[in-house]
Amino acid sequence: MTRRRSSSHRGRNILIFLLVAGLLAGGGAVAYSWWRSADSDPALTVRYRSDSPAATDVAKPWLEVINTSDRAVDLSDVTLRYYYTADDGVAYGSNCVQTALGCSNITQRTASAEKSAPEADHYLQVGFTEAAGTLKPGGTTEAIGLQLYRIDRKKLNQVDDRSFDAEATTYQESKLVTAYLGDTHVWGEEPNGDTPAAGQTPPAASSASGGPGAEPPAGILFDDFDYTGPDDPALAANGWEVRTGEGGPGIADTWSKEGVSFPAGEDGDKGQALRLVASTDGTKKGTRQSEFHSAEPAVFEGTLVARVYLTDEPVSGQDGDHVSESFFTISPDHESKKYSELDYEYLPNGGWGRYGPLLDTTSWRDSATNDRVTSFSNKKLGGWHTMAITAVDGKTVYSVDGETFFTSGSDHFPREAMSVNFSAWFIDLPFKGERTWEMKVDWLYYQADKAVAAKDAEKAVADLAAGGRRHVNTLSEK
């Protein structure tokens, strides 16, 4: 005879089912807490090695995350904290140099610790986007190469950095780097001595509030210019080059990486900016010009926006130079049959026989025959501005702070992909004496194939930066 389950037994099963379903529906934090308490081994293990001495220009921690549980882990739920002491209380920057996951899928944030502890008054928080994928049981992120540095570019001392270990020259487990799944502390020892325990949650500013936010759409290029200097390997990894080659414009063969740096950005210690310096003593030998550009053609039809700082006078020395502060896109080959170029040139003192200030906006079709259309404005533009070039539907629109300056038509519309360029250079050398000019770029944002309003680009940039995104490139997903 088949025994019938009692109603009380059936009720207990329903209650258990509802409890488990409620825990899972409550979000990753609750689900991972329940999972963590059920496992005897840590859900994650963090391995670390150092690639720099204690006293250095740039700290180079390498991290690896291993899924040591028996269940898959979404990397977007994982957050790491690397603890350090900010020397002299200055702002620190960070970036990603190398990872099999793609640096676009690594988020970073430097922050003050909620409660200061010896050797740990700050931390570098590392997270992952949804595109980073999932770790299967036993799976690993492989090596994640990071850089941590003082924005003022002075040497830092890692001796009093909690997570630094001078002897860890090969990968080894490090419990001085902590890991979290959702809101649950699953690896390492926090500076206050807390270690993982069932249901334990990290401080409020952990992964729950530090996630990357919504994934950016396909066809995006974004850079916040968080780099250590012109020799930073992350520049090449993210598709940028500093010009040192020969040729013009301006004073030929005077291009130098010496004028390229990455100081604090528009918001002071919140991020960095690209700084380009043009300096001279009035002679060719004493002249240095600066250019920063994408190594390969990166943009075509769509909207390119940059937050740019223009100067009306030199930062040092006598005024009066015919200097050009430029933001432009250009074909990689000047002799291409599909040659394309879209230019902004700000000439605070004018040039080529014209009085300044001048903002030239030009769309080129052929540089050899000087086939171009151009417009100029006499507005004085010293300071920060959002500058946009929108090339969509056979029309190119140049706008500054949302105001249209010039529109060119289909005859001078881009016909091939172009590189992105920023440069500071001299048209001529009218007098002797040392002087220095600069321009800066806080960020760059590009959306392929679409017209994007400047205010919408600014919001997209703010969202990406708030999510810890330093560099994003989804152009290949277009």
Per-residue pLDDT of the chain (478 residues; tens, 9 = 90+): 333 333 444 444 444 444 334 433 444 443 454 444 344 579 999 999 999 999 999 999 999 999 999 999 999 999 999 999 999 989 999 999 999 999 999 999 999 998 878 899 999 999 999 999 999 999 999 999 999 999 999 999 999 999 999 999 999 999 999 999 999 999 999 999 999 975 444 433 333 334 445 688 899 999 999 999 999 999 999 999 999 999 999 999 999 999 999 999 997 657 899 999 999 999 999 999 999 999 999 999 999 999 999 999 999 999 999 999 999 999 999 899 999 999 999 999 999 999 999 999 999 999 889 999 999 999 999 999 999 999 999 999 999 999 999 999 999 999 999 999 999 999 999 999 999 999 999 999 999 999 999 999 999 999 999 999 999 999 988 6
Portions of the chain given CATH number 2.60.40.710: 39-210
CA distance 65 to 44: 7
CA distance 328 to 342: 6
Q: Helix 28-38 crosses helix 7-25 at what angle (to 10 degrees)?
A: 120
Residue 216: its pLDDT value, please? 86
Fold entry, domain 220-477: Jelly Rolls (2.60.120)
Looking at domain 39-210, which CATH architecture does it have?
Answer: Sandwich (2.60)
Asked if residue 101 lies in contact with residue 128, where contact means CB atoms within 8 angstroms, the answer is: yes
CA 403 to mean position of chain CA atoms: 27
CA distance 25 to 22: 5
Residue 371: its pLDDT value, please? 96
Which amino acid is located at 3 in the chain? R
H/E segment holding residue 377? strand 371-377
User: How far is it between the farthest Cα atoms of the chain?
Assistant: 110
Portions of the chain given CATH number 2.60.120.200: 220-477
H/E segment holding residue 346? strand 341-347
Residue 198: its pLDDT value, please? 55
Which amino acid is located at 114 in the chain? E
CA distance 310 to 386: 11
pTM exceeds 0.85, yes or no: yes
